[in-house]
Amino acid sequence: MEIIKGVHLHFIQSEKFKTNKIKVRFSAPMSEKTIAGRVLTASMLETSNALYPTSQAFREKLANLYGANYSTSLSRRGLVHYLDINLSFVRDQFLSRKNMLADEMLDFLKASLFFPLSNGKAFDTKTFEIEKRNVLTDLEAEIENHFYHAHRELNNLFYDLPEMRIPRVATIELVEKETAETSFAAFQQMLNQDQIDFFFIGDFNEIAVREKIQEFHFSEREQPLQLSYQQNYSNITREKLEQRDVHQSIVELAYHFSSQYGDRGHLPLIVLNGLLGGFAHSKLFVNVREKESLAYTISSSFDIFSGLMRIYAGIDRANRTKTIALINRQILDLKRGHFTDEELEQTKNMLKNSILLAQDRQNTLIERAYMSSVLGKKFLSLEAWLKALDNVSKADLIEAAQQLKLQAIYFMEGK
């Protein structure tokens, strides 16, 4: 339901879980101008506010709410950046007082959003500088993660649009430029302009919750959100070689595809990825890692919202050419239909089991509710998805494989 233009409530009533969960999602266009401020805002929001101005007071309040949990997270789809606030707490059924904890958690949330630790123009400087240092430390650690670095470098090679190259957690350079004032301005922009989605999963009094959220007095907003990004294929393969002081070399390959969410090529692409590099029986794992012993680790993944399929492998540097050739051979084999009906059915069964197991997670159900709300008819119910999966044929898989065109290669050369 929409309580005011651009602010929506989603209820998923369930007695399946021991905890209730509230997720508040702020959605905005991905922008180099605001990303670092949003990242620092996320850090500030889960540390303190004006009512609980120290980390200790903040955590003690949550402990007094029967060990409730409050955290923030950052993610992206296409050209949309998400800042999520996550609250989980014990269901009423396990407490002596009813409808008490949900009210108190919403009060705590309201304090975070409307009574931040600030002077009205900037975040509290001392706390902000601590959180900024923590964010920078985390980003430095990410860069030291060689696969994270390789992923970023491949993104830089593959994507034409600068906004698509920005990580969901910003960059060291962007965060370093932020001040208590600029980040607070990004926070205010988020509060006043972002699309906001509230998700309530568990046992909630919907009328009482709606009345409580209306007391937040959000203003109307209309945010143009572009979930899908599609760029044209270039027949020039972009390559980069980088030498680093690492024991294991890494090769990453980016393939362009044209299918988008909800079209007829979407489900076959999911199956294709599973057969190529998503599971232990996949072509890459069996033929490149097991039979030829060319990779320590190897896998494939794809992003339906940006037309990128990624294959990455940890290898010895001497095996680069051989590994790339064998990876491309696996894709060529799929394009030619060189796979068995048994392999196809095994992959479909693995995907079916994965999605059914995922239904036992609150976050999965929340994401499905969100996708249903933003994608409308393109979004398939669980039953429709499983039926469509069963109907994926060998011909569908071959057609999906034909889309894959090598666009970029990144090689991190180790010792």
Q: Averaged over 205-218, what is the pLDDT?
A: 94
pLDDT (0 to 100) of residue 96:
66
Distance separating alpha carbons of residues 28 and 328, to the nearest angstrom: 37
pLDDT (0 to 100) of residue 127:
97
Distances (CA, A) of 228 to 231, 303, 308: 10, 10, 12
For the cut 70, the answer to whether the pLDDT of residue 54 exceeds it is yes
More confident residue, 247 or 327: 327
pLDDT (0 to 100) of residue 415:
78
DSSP-derived letter for residue 235 is S
Q: In what order do the strands lie in the sheet with 405-413?
A: 238-243, 405-413, 249-256, 308-315, 295-303
What φ, ψ does residue 16 adopt, rounded to 5°? Answer: -75, -30
**141 contact partners, CB below 8 Å, separation of at least 6:** none
DSSP-derived letter for residue 377 is G
pLDDT band at 24 (very low <50, low <70, confident <90, very high): very high
Query: What's the longest Cα–Cα distance across the chain?
Result: 67
Distance separating alpha carbons of residues 240 and 257, to the nearest angstrom: 21
Q: Averaged over 171-193, what is the pLDDT?
A: 98
pLDDT band at 98 (very low <50, low <70, confident <90, very high): low
Across 61-65, 92-96, 261-265, 324-328, least confident range: 92-96
Distance separating alpha carbons of residues 388 and 393, to the nearest angstrom: 10
Q: What is the pLDDT of residues 222-245, one digit of tens each?
A: 989 999 999 999 999 999 999 998
- Per CATH, 2-215 and 238-413 having the same topology is answered yes
Across 93-102, 111-120, 155-164, least confident range: 93-102
Distance separating alpha carbons of residues 109 and 89, to the nearest angstrom: 13
Distance separating alpha carbons of residues 295 and 313, to the nearest angstrom: 6
**75 contact partners, CB below 8 Å, separation of at least 6:** 81, 82, 84, 168
Q: Averaged over 314-333, what is the pLDDT?
A: 96
Distance separating alpha carbons of residues 85 and 200, to the nearest angstrom: 12
Closest to 212 in 3D by CA, of 116, 102, 61: 102
pLDDT (0 to 100) of residue 130:
97
pLDDT (0 to 100) of residue 1:
87
Q: Are 80 and 29 in contact (CB under 8 A)?
A: yes
CA 301, distance to chain mean position in Å, is 13
For every residue of 55-123, DSSP letters joined together read HHHHHHHHHHTTS-EEEEEEEEETTEEEEEEEEEEE-GGGSSSSS-HHHHHHHHHHHHHHS-SB-SSSB
More confident residue, 14 or 310: 310
pLDDT (0 to 100) of residue 383:
96
Closest to 24 in 3D by CA, of 120, 110, 122: 110
* Long-range contacts of the stretch 33-37 (C-beta < 8 A, 24+): 34/81, 34/186, 34/189, 34/190, 35/81, 35/166, 35/170, 35/174, 36/170, 36/171, 36/174, 36/175, 36/177, 36/178, 36/183, 36/186, 37/178, 37/182, 37/183, 37/185, 37/186, 37/187
Q: State percent of the chain over pLDDT 70.
A: 99
Per CATH, which fold does 2-215 belong to?
Cytochrome Bc1 Complex; Chain A, domain 1 (3.30.830)
CATH class of 238-413: alpha beta
Closest to 199 in 3D by CA, of 88, 344, 60: 88
> How do the domains of the chain map onto residue ranges?
2-215, 238-413
Distances (CA, A) of 140 to 83, 170, 375: 21, 12, 36
Query: What token pair was written down for 172?
Result: 């060291």
pLDDT band at 15 (very low <50, low <70, confident <90, very high): confident
Distance separating alpha carbons of residues 363 and 359, to the nearest angstrom: 9
Q: Averaged over 374-399, what is the pLDDT?
A: 95
For the cut 70, the answer to whether the pLDDT of residue 97 exceeds it is no
**388 contact partners, CB below 8 Å, separation of at least 6:** 267, 380
pLDDT (0 to 100) of residue 99:
56
Q: What is the pLDDT of residues 29-45, one digit of tens each?
A: 999 999 999 999 999 99
pLDDT (0 to 100) of residue 100:
79
Helix (H) / strand (E) containing 296:
strand 295-303
Q: What is the pLDDT of residues 124-166, one digit of tens each?
A: 999 999 999 999 999 999 988 999 999 999 999 999 999 999 9
pLDDT (0 to 100) of residue 174:
98
Helix (H) / strand (E) containing 406:
strand 405-413
**28 contact partners, CB below 8 Å, separation of at least 6:** 34, 38, 80, 81, 189, 190, 193, 194, 195, 223, 225
Helix (H) / strand (E) containing 412:
strand 405-413
For the cut 80, the answer to whether the pLDDT of residue 109 exceeds it is yes
Q: Are 244 and 143 in contact (CB under 8 A)?
A: no
